[in-house]
């Protein structure tokens, strides 16, 4: 029997999907399950997006498209970049992918030789680790616990960059913590980055339009434009436009990187379909009221989640300021019992919570922080409140 390639053996199925599957099974067996597990927005894009898709279908050429992305999409992305505060990019800096996940995978292939180092902060989005493992990169994780609001400090970054990693991968706003770096925090990290010219900087900032409390979105190049030579900005329509299934990822980068990604596209995917491209252009260029309204709605839900979790004695829930995740430290529960069953870690905690209360959350160890769990709060408000009440009840019952 021939063997699979070693790189496949290094890939693990997503821990998030494992919990989601278990929740689905319980639901199918008739249990009343509230899922806080998957990070999908609970809204659809505006009618103008569907209208553009229908219109595109009516004169579809049926042909392959551009490996880099259609000009109309690149131009709509350029407009979007300017709205966010970027300047100086042209079509030559851009490329596309089948979602940000695909862009990140292509970037790992384009930037990292086997054995080279990539560093990123923990808690991290699970896929970072898996992609690095698949391409055989070495991973240096910078641990950022609840006591530092899950945020990377300039000193931590400096220590990691002194090891001369090939890539520093940054995520703002963060999945899983919902943390957002302020203008001053981003600028302070940028000051460190200018001192290490041999490291690529990937900013996975796909939740950039979901920032609360007037903090705004900030990137290293805003205060240090010279970093544009090394900063690769990754974006997606999945979360902020309610279009995860449409699979549109976008990237703004130095020209050499955009060319490399486009070459990989020419060998992997060829192009985005015309209908998807038309919908993406409509989302980026059309009215921005849906993303804005959703951002306000999620800020309100964040308040509900933080209030409920902070009222549980011993639970520490740093205040998220973006995306739609909360990441409470639940480690006070470790070593305790729930109806006689001992809970020793986050995985046992989440399994017991799902079993006893029908609430699905993702164990923090999936994100490199085993003292916490992730709550994705995109479900309808009534369910959210019910789920939070059940979590509170669960903690009350610990002995
Ligand atoms: C931080 C982060 N980056 C990238 C992605 C992938 O997004 P896409 O749907 O565009 O592949 C996700 C999805 O959950 C994410 O949370």
DSSP-derived secondary structure for 125-148: -HHHHHHHHHTT-EEEEEE--GGG
Longest dimension (CA), the chain: 65
Mutual orientation of helices 15-28 and 346-357 as an angle, nearest 10°? 20
Q: Is the dihedral of CA 143, 149, 152, 153 positive or negative?
A: negative
> Measured from the CB, is residue 249 less than 6 Å from ligand 1?
yes
> Measured from the CB, is residue 204 less than 6 Å from ligand 1?
yes
The pLDDT value given to residue 212 = 97
DSSP-derived secondary structure for 322-362: BTTEE--B-GGGTTEEETTEEE-SHHHHHHHHHHHH-EE-E
Contacts of 159 (CB under 8 A, 6+ apart): 142
> Measured from the CB, is residue 206 less than 6 Å from ligand 1?
yes
Q: How many Å apart are CA 203 and CA 160, to the nearest integer?
A: 16
SS3 at position 120: strand
> Measured from the CB, is residue 171 less than 6 Å from ligand 1?
yes
Omega before 78 cis (within 30°)?
no
| Low-confidence residues of the chain: pLDDT under 50 | none
Whole-Å CA distances, 344 to 152, 265, 341: 28, 45, 10
Tokens (6 digits) for 291:
């993303």
Whole-Å CA distances, 322 to 29, 146, 301, 310, 313: 35, 16, 11, 18, 25
CB atoms within 10 A of CB 60: 11
The pLDDT value given to residue 14 = 66
Mind listing the domains of the chain with CATH numbers?
Answer: 6-44+290-396 (3.90.1150.10), 47-285 (3.40.640.10)
Q: How many Å apart are CA 231 and CA 269, to the nearest integer?
A: 24
| Radius of gyration of the CA atoms of the chain, in A | 21
- Residue 162's Cβ-side half-sphere holds a number of Cα atoms within 13 Å equal to 7
SS3 at position 221: helix
> Measured from the CB, is residue 101 less than 6 Å from ligand 1?
yes
The pLDDT value given to residue 15 = 65
Q: How many Å apart are CA 315 and CA 159, to the nearest integer?
A: 30
CA 312 to ligand 1 centroid distance, Å: 30
If 0-12 CB within 10 Å is exposed, 13-18 middle and 19+ buried, where does residue 37 land?
buried
User: Which residues does residue 168 pair with via DSSP β-bridges, in sequence order?
Assistant: 119, 201
Q: How many Å apart are CA 173 and CA 179, to the nearest integer?
A: 6
Q: Is the dihedral of CA 79, 84, 87, 92 positive or negative?
A: negative
Token pair 């849906």: residue: 290
> Measured from the CB, is residue 169 less than 6 Å from ligand 1?
no
Q: How many Å apart are CA 300 and CA 306, to the nearest integer?
A: 10
Closest residue by Cα to atom 14, ligand 1, is: 39
> Measured from the CB, is residue 84 less than 6 Å from ligand 1?
no
Tokens (6 digits) for 6:
């070693």
Q: How many Å apart are CA 278 and CA 283, to the nearest integer?
A: 9
Contacts of 243 (CB under 8 A, 6+ apart): 45, 49, 237, 279, 280, 283
CB atoms within 10 A of CB 63: 7
Q: How many Å apart are CA 313 and CA 220, to the nearest integer?
A: 38
Ligand 1 pocket test: which of 16, 38, 99, 122 has the largest number of ligand atoms within 8 Å of its C-beta? 99
Residue 125 CA, closest ligand 1 atom number: 1
Q: How many Å apart are CA 21 and CA 360, to the nearest integer?
A: 10
What's the pTM?
A: 0.96
Ligand 1 pocket test: which of 239, 248, 322 has the largest number of ligand atoms within 8 Å of its C-beta? 239
Q: How many Å apart are CA 134 and CA 126, to the nearest integer?
A: 13
The pLDDT value given to residue 370 = 95
């Amino acid at each position: 029997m021939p063997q699979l390639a070693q790189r496949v053996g290094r890939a693990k199925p997503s821990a998030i999907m494992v919990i989601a599957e278990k929740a689905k099974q319980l639901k199918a067996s008739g249990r009343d399950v509230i899922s806080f597990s998957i990070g999908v927005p609970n809204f659809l894009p505006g009618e103008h997006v569907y209208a553009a898709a229908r219109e595109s279908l009516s004169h579809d050429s049926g042909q392959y498209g551009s490996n880099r992305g259609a000009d109309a999409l690149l131009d709509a992305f350029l407009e979007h970049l300017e709205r966010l505060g970027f300047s100086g990019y042209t079509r030559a800096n851009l490329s596309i992918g089948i979602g940000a996940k695909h862009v990140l995978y292509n970037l790992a292939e384009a930037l990292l030789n086997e054995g080279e180092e990539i560093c990123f902060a923990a808690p991290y989005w699970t896929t970072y680790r898996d992609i690095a493992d698949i391409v055989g990169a070495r991973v240096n994780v910078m641990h950022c616990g609840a006591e530092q609001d899950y945020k990377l400090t300039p000193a931590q970054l400096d220590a990691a960059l002194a090891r001369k990693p090939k890539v520093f991968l940054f995520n703002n706003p963060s999945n899983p913590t919902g943390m957002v770096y302020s203008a001053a925090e981003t600028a302070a990290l940028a000051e460190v980055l200018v001192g290490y010219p041999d490291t690529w900087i990937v900013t996975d900032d796909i939740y950039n339009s979901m920032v609360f409390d007037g903090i705004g979105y900030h990137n290293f190049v805003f205060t240090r434009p010279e970093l544009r030579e090394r900063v690769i900005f990754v974006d997606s329509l999945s979360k902020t436009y309610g279009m995860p299934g449409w699979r549109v990822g976008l990237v703004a980068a130095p020209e050499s990187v955009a060319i490399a990604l486009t070459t990989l596209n020419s060998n992997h995917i060829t192009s985005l379909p015309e209908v998807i491209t038309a919908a993406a252009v409509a989302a980026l260029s059309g009215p921005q009221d849906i993303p804005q309204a959703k951002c306000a709605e999620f800020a309100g839900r964040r308040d509900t989640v933080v209030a409920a979790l902070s009222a549980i004695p011993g639970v520490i829930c740093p205040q998220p300021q973006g995306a739609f995740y909360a990441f409470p430290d639940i480690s006070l529960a470790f070593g305790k019992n729930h109806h006689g069953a001992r809970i020793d870690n986050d995985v046992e905690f989440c399994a017991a919570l799902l079993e006893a209360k029908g609430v699905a959350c993702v164990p923090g160890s999936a994100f490199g922080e085993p003292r916490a769990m992730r709550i994705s709060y995109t479900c309808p408000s009534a369910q959210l409140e019910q789920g939070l009440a059940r979590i509170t009840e669960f903690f009350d019952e610990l002995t």
